[in-house]
Structures are given as structure tokens and as C-alpha cells.
Chain A
Amino acid sequence: MDAAEFSFLPGWPLPLGPIAWVAVLLLAALLAGEALQRWVGLSRVLGYLAVGAVLGPSALGLVDAGAIGHLRVVADIAIGLLLFELGQRADFGWLRRNPVLLVKSVAEALLTFGAVFAVMSLVGLRPIAAAAAGVLAVATSPAMVMTMIKDLRAQGQVTERLTLLTALNTAYAVVGMALVMGALHLDREQPALAPMVLQPLYLIAGSALLAAALAHGTLYLFGLFGRRPAFQFAITVGIVLIAVALASALKLSVPLTLLALGVISRVFDRERHFVPLRFGESAMLFVVLLFALAGASLQFSGWLDALPLALGFVLARFVGKLAPVMLLAQPSHLGPRKAWLLALALTPMSALALLMLGDLTRASPQLAAEIGASLYLAIAILAFAGALAVEYALRRAGEAAEDSR
């Protein structure tokens, strides 16, 4: 009997391509999320994260670093869509009508940075490492916040403020990280002054310009073709994909570009061409994969040693966000109870922080070695705890839809 006669049969082990692993990750995450929600009553997002963490390189390793690298583009698209929607939802005109909100936002960012910077310096980290940790701490997970608000169909003052502060925090963190990246040029054997200035400038101005150009193009198209929601939806997804692709190719900041695209396309939409976006069910696949990948990107190596510093980070960050939100509650016309819930809802960190930490690691492996372990652990804590915190806050504020689950 000739083996060639049976060549129509598959070889063993089955030569499964990366598509299979995406499918496994997606299905496992979906099922775990559904099960967690139905039988434990917790948010689905926790299930997605947990499945990612279990299948990821830190635990079972079914989804390895290579697969995560392949899937990076999915994560970029998912976070791109969410950031665009965040930018559209956050109303920057509100800062003009209620300037205390701007004070609150800036104070919250500065205090968060300062508190984390102080803690990191106290344990003897170099200023550049402490600054990197401080900048990361400013970010509130846009993915988590947007997903929760949409899942709960939340509506009200806490939701509105959370949206605005999250958009601002994302902008601060991305800009801050660009400055840190610039400062890294000084952190070398031969410090380079020009790139220190030019790199952040290119990143920030470039992202903003790209976003402005795309936003005006989109609005022009909408002005031409009208307000049919299905058409706008398809065009918007297309523009978001182009923005992600161009920002990556031009080595600009994908998050900043997409956030700015959302903001600018709203601010300049004076004739209100944009109908409210409903990404809804179709975007769910991206969101599930985004959180599963975030889970898989979590690193737990040496977690016991990293734990004290991670807890210090979490605590300092929380105090930095809590204090200004509480102190400026009354002047910004929010009751103390809702201010507390708002501060709580600002806690999550997840995909964006992981992306930024990944970029930082590539730019300076040495810096990443100094702070990486404790930051990964802190992000893990804040991803899981943050999901719980946002849901709790929005429900207790009475802003979740009655039948949302």
C-alpha cells in the first residue's frame, strides 16, 4: 500500500492556521462571558479577560506571543472604533459651558501623575521610569468605559462626565507617553536632543492633522449623501479603518488619531450631518477579541515580588483621581454620592494601557524591565476590578437601563 494513495487525508497533528486560534479564543471568550453573566451575575467583560489570561502565554500558552502579534491589527481596529465613538460622544463644548469640569479634569490628571510618580520615586525608581508609570496611571480605559456604558445603555450625569473625563484622560496619557518617549532619547549613552523634541511633536501634530483631514473628508461625504444611518455606519467604519492603517503606517499614534477623529468630526459638524452611531452587535466581535487579547497580554511572571509596588500604584492612582473629583463635585454641580461613583468609574485600565506599555517596552527594554512586572500586575488588577467598579458605579447612580443585563 502506497502512502501517496492516502494523501487526500490530512496530516497529523492537524495543520491549523492562526484562524483556528482566533476562533477558539473568540468562542471561549464569548461562552465564558455569557456563562459568567448568566450564572454568576457578573459582567461579560470579566469572562473575556479571564479566558484571554488563561489561554494566553502567561498560563496555558495556547495563544502564544506570535498569535497575539498577528491579532494586533484586530485590537487596533477594535480600540480604534471605540476611541472614535468615545471622541464623538464626549462633548468638549461642555468644558466651555461648565469650566469647573476642565479644572477637575486637569487636576485629576496632574494629581494622579504626581501621586504615582511620588510612590515610584520613593521606592527608588529613576525619574524617567517613575514618569512613565505616572503617565500610564492617568489613562482610564476607554474600551472598558465605552463597552460598559453601551452594555448598560447608561444615561445621566455620571455617564456623561465619565465619558468626557475618559476622553480627556486618554488624550493626556497618549500625549504624556509621547513626551516620555521623547525623553528616552536623553536616556542613552549619547543623548540626542533633536529627536527628543521632534518625536513627540511629530506624533502629536501628525496625529491631529491626519484626524482633521479625515474628519473633514467624512463630513464632506455626509453633506453630499445625507443622513441615511446604514450608509453613515458603513462609511464611518471605512474611515476608521483608513485612520488606523494610515496612523500605523505613518508611525503616528493610533489612539490619539482615532480619538481626535471622533472629536473633530463632532466639533465641526455644525449642520449635524452625523446621525448618532450605533455600532451595536456587529462591533461586539471586535470588543470580545479586544478584551480576550488584553487578557492574553497580561503578564503575571514574578507577581509576588511585584505585588507591593503594584498595590502602591493602584492606591496612589485611586487617591489621585478621587480627591479632585470629590473636592470639585459641588462647584461642578454633582452631588457627593454621584461624585464618589464617578471617581470609582474612572478606575479601569486595560487594552490602551497594555498597548502603551507594549510600545514602551519596544522603545526601551531596559525601562520596561524596571517597571514592567509591577505595571502589568497593576493593569491586571485594574482591568478586573475596574470592570466591576464601572458597572457598580453606573448601576448605583441609577443610570443603567432597567432591563440591561
Chain B
Amino acid sequence: MSTLEFAQSRVLTIGIELELQIIDRRDCDLTRGAEELIRLLERSGHPGDVKPEITDSMIEISTGIHERYDTALQELRGIRDALVVGADKLNLLVAGGGAHPFQQWAERRIYDKARFRQLSQLYGYLAKQFTIFGQHVHIGCSEGDSAMYLLHAMSRYVPHFIALAASSPFHQGIDTAFDSSRLNSVFAFPLAGRAPVVDRWETFVAYFDKMRAARIVESMKDFYWDIRPKPEFGTIEIRVFDTPLTVDKAAVLAGYAQTLARYLLIERPVTVSEDMYLPYTYNRFQACRFGFNGLMIDPLTHEHLVIGDDIVATCAQLAVHADELDAAPALQQVAAWAAARANDAHWARQRYADSQSLGDLMWQQSLLWSGRP
């Protein structure tokens, strides 16, 4: 009765999805425009894929399947350019960033589509509060068992991903003190968190079937896990990244995740067990709150590490795998960001300190995203 067939995909291929903000040029608040923007792009025959999201101030772009992070970057740049030209025609701005700094969630409108209306009915105000923007990275796996292994082995690096991508320091008009406030909004959902500790695809399918039989979920989409399998694509999907402020950063982060995946799948450095998750929520909080300066506890050694330092060390450790994937430049970049403790949240706080205006911050953010000088 299960339909969870794990599709075959080329191992270690990547695909990137980015949720983006649609901004009003006048006050730099979120505005409606997803419908027209998508229609305009469809008519002009843009590259990549463009889809609506839960509220009509959001839009999601996604790449095809890539072997290398730099070809994914080329595709992302193409989509971004088409998007910027389209937004110009509609007098809109598009921007990255994990959350809009001062939008009022109550002002948002649910995008007119059956699934989104259902979600809104079910989750009430949580649905509108879900106007937050993430990057999802898909990594191809040859079969279900190795996907489950990769999913759990990758959990150690979730704090890295959070700290590197954090770009939502402001929320509803205030500085949250978090580098990524976005993930706090995800936590409100009953099916957020992490996948159950099973290392066989078969076992996972049995779990899913039980959940469905109990009518807790209908499909994989109902799980809001940090990393979840995507059997239709034959991938695991890492969902903890805030959308970065540039497509370049998005591609580099995907390159880092891809390199980690190669290391984990080839060297198999851990065995999957419940113990891996002992420090998980602590680490996750530290990364959200303090970014690179957060402390993470190694799940195996229980050693306390500064997240930024651990990223630098990990990059050095991954050099061989990065060379194989032509991802060395990406890893250099990642190590440099971590060493300098410079993520997008840091950038946003600096801009705000200069201008004292969250509207102005949003303007700068959309300029940065457009890739225009």
C-alpha cells in the first residue's frame, strides 16, 4: 500500500530551491505580486522553475539537476536576471534573506491555490507567520538506505549550515538577537524537527505508513523536518538554510553540502544511532542564536567547539573531496566566511547600524540580490 518508492538519481548531484521576497519599491515592505510575476516569467520563457509559495509575497525558484556547484550558479544567475527584469516591469523588487525585517504577518495574503488554503485552515495564523524564506539543497542518492544514512550523518553539520546561511536577524520590526530568527518560526509546527532514527529505507517506509494510517500525515510534504528524504526525486533535502542575500552564496553553500555528502557517503565516519541527536537541539539553538560564535557539542566526542572554528577545520578535512567535485573554491569561500565570522545577519546588522532604517536595509538587500552594481 505504500507509494514511497525511492527513485534512482545520480549520486551526489545537487539541486537548489530558493524562496524569495517580493518587495514594494516605495516602502520596501513585502507586497503582493507572486501571481503576476510568475505569469510574466512564464510568458517570457525564463530558465529554471518558478513557483508560488504559501503567501502571495513569496516566490520560489529552483534549478535543474547539477553535477557541479558552479553550473548550478550559472543557472541561478540566469533565473535571477530574468526575475529582476520581470520585477522591474511590475515595479517590484526581489530580495533574499530568511525573513522580512519589519513586515506584519497579519497583512499577508494566502496564495490562491487549494493546498495553501488547506494549510491556512489547518494552521491558522501559523500559516501567515510562515512567510519566511529558506534555501533547500537536494542531494542525489543512489538508493533509499544510503539516503537515510546520509540524512542522519549530515545532522552533525546542521549548525554549520545554519550559521553560514543565517540572514534573518530582524523580525516584525525588532532585532531578535538571533542570527537566524526564521528557524524559530519553523519550530512552531507540530511536525517540525528531525526524522526518526532509522537507517533502512524499508524501516522508514514502515514508519511513514504508520503515520499515514493514523492519519497524522498525508504525504512527505507534511513533515517540516530540517532534513527530509524526497523519494520522488531520489534525494535528501536540507532545509535549514536561510535564503542567502546572493545567488552566489546559495551556490557556494550547496557546494559545501555536496562536498560533505561525498565525505560522509564514501568514508562512512559514523554509525547511525539515537545518540547522534543528543546535542542536536542545543547545537541548533546555539547556531540560530549566535551564528559562527555559537558553541556546538560534538555528538561523538561531546567536545565543545566554536561553530566557526569547526567549519574551518571541516573545510580542511574535506579538501580531497572538494577537489573531486571541483568545489575547492566554494570551500575556500566557506572557510573564509567562518574565519571572519561574517554571515549575512552580520551584514544586515551593520547596514542597520549605519542607516537606522529597516526599509533602507531592505532596499540594500534587494540591490545586492539583483547583482547589479
Contacts and interface: CB of A to CB of B under 8 A. Distances in A.
Interface in B194-226: none
A272 B356 CA distance: 12
A188 interface: no
B26 A98 contact: no
Interface string B94-137: 00000000000001010010000000000000000000000000
Interface string A318-356: 000000000000001111000000000000000000000
B26 A334 contact: no
A398 interface: yes
Interface string A218-236: 0000000011000000000
A354 B190 CA distance: 59
B363 interface: yes
Interface in B17-43: 24-27, 29, 31-33, 36, 39-40
Given A156-B32, A272-B360, A333-B89, A91 B26 contact: yes
Contacts of A276: 26-27, 29, 359
Contacts of A226: 356
A94 B29 CA distance: 18
Q: Which 9 A-B pairs have the closest CB atoms?
A: A276-B27, A97-B88, A94-B91, A156-B32, A98-B89, A333-B40, A333-B89, A157-B36, A155-B32
25 contacts: A88-B26, A91-B26, A93-B25, A94-B91, A97-B89, A98-B89, A98-B91, A156-B31, A156-B36, A157-B90, A160-B90, A227-B356, A272-B357, A272-B359, A272-B360, A276-B26, A276-B29, A333-B40, A333-B89, A333-B90, A334-B36, A335-B39, A398-B32, A398-B109, A398-B112
Nearest to B24: A155
Contacts, number: 55
Contact of A401 (B24, B107, B112, B356): B107
Given A155-B32, A156-B32, A333-B40, A97 B91 contact: yes
Nearest to A100: B89
B36 A333 contact: yes
A285 interface: no
Contacts of B32: 155-156, 398-399
By CB atoms of chain B within 10 A, which of A97, A155, A398, A399 has the most?
A155
Contact of A98 (B31, B33, B88, B109): B88
Interface string B30-62: 011100100110000000000000000000000
Interface residues of A, number: 25
B286 to A, nearest CB: 34
B360 A402 contact: no
Interface string A36-69: 0000000000000000000000000000000000
Contacts of A156: 31-33, 36
A103 interface: no
Interface string A97-116: 11000000000000000000
A157 B39 CA distance: 13
B90 A91 contact: no
Given A153-B107, A155-B31, A272-B357, 14 more contacts: A91-B25, A93-B25, A97-B88, A97-B91, A98-B90, A155-B24, A157-B36, A272-B360, A275-B357, A276-B26, A333-B90, A335-B36, A398-B32, A399-B32
Interface in A375-405: 398-399, 401-402
A226 B354 CA distance: 12
A272 B26 CA distance: 10
Contact of B359 (A157, A275, A335, A399): A275
Interface of B: 24-27, 29, 31-33, 36, 39-40, 88-91, 107, 109, 112, 356-357, 359-360, 363
Contacts of B36: 156-157, 333-335
Contacts of A89: 26
Nearest to A161: B91
A32 to B, nearest CB: 30
Interface in A130-173: 153, 155-157, 160
Contact of B91 (A153, A160, A398): A160
Contacts of B109: 398, 402
Contacts of B88: 97-98
A334 B27 CA distance: 22
A236 B33 CA distance: 30
B25 A227 contact: no
Contacts of A153: 107
Contacts of B363: 272
Contacts of A93: 25
By CB atoms of chain B within 10 A, which of A93, A275, A333, A399 has the most?
A333
Contact of A227 (B39, B40, B90, B357): B357
A93 B90 CA distance: 11
Contacts of B360: 272
Contacts of A334: 36
Contacts of A275: 357, 359
Contacts of A333: 36, 39-40, 89-90
A399 B357 CA distance: 27
Nearest to A90: B26
Contacts of A402: 109
By CB atoms of chain A within 10 A, which of B33, B40, B89 has the most?
B89
Contacts of B25: 91, 93
B36 to A, nearest CB: 5
A66 B357 CA distance: 48
A168 to B, nearest CB: 14
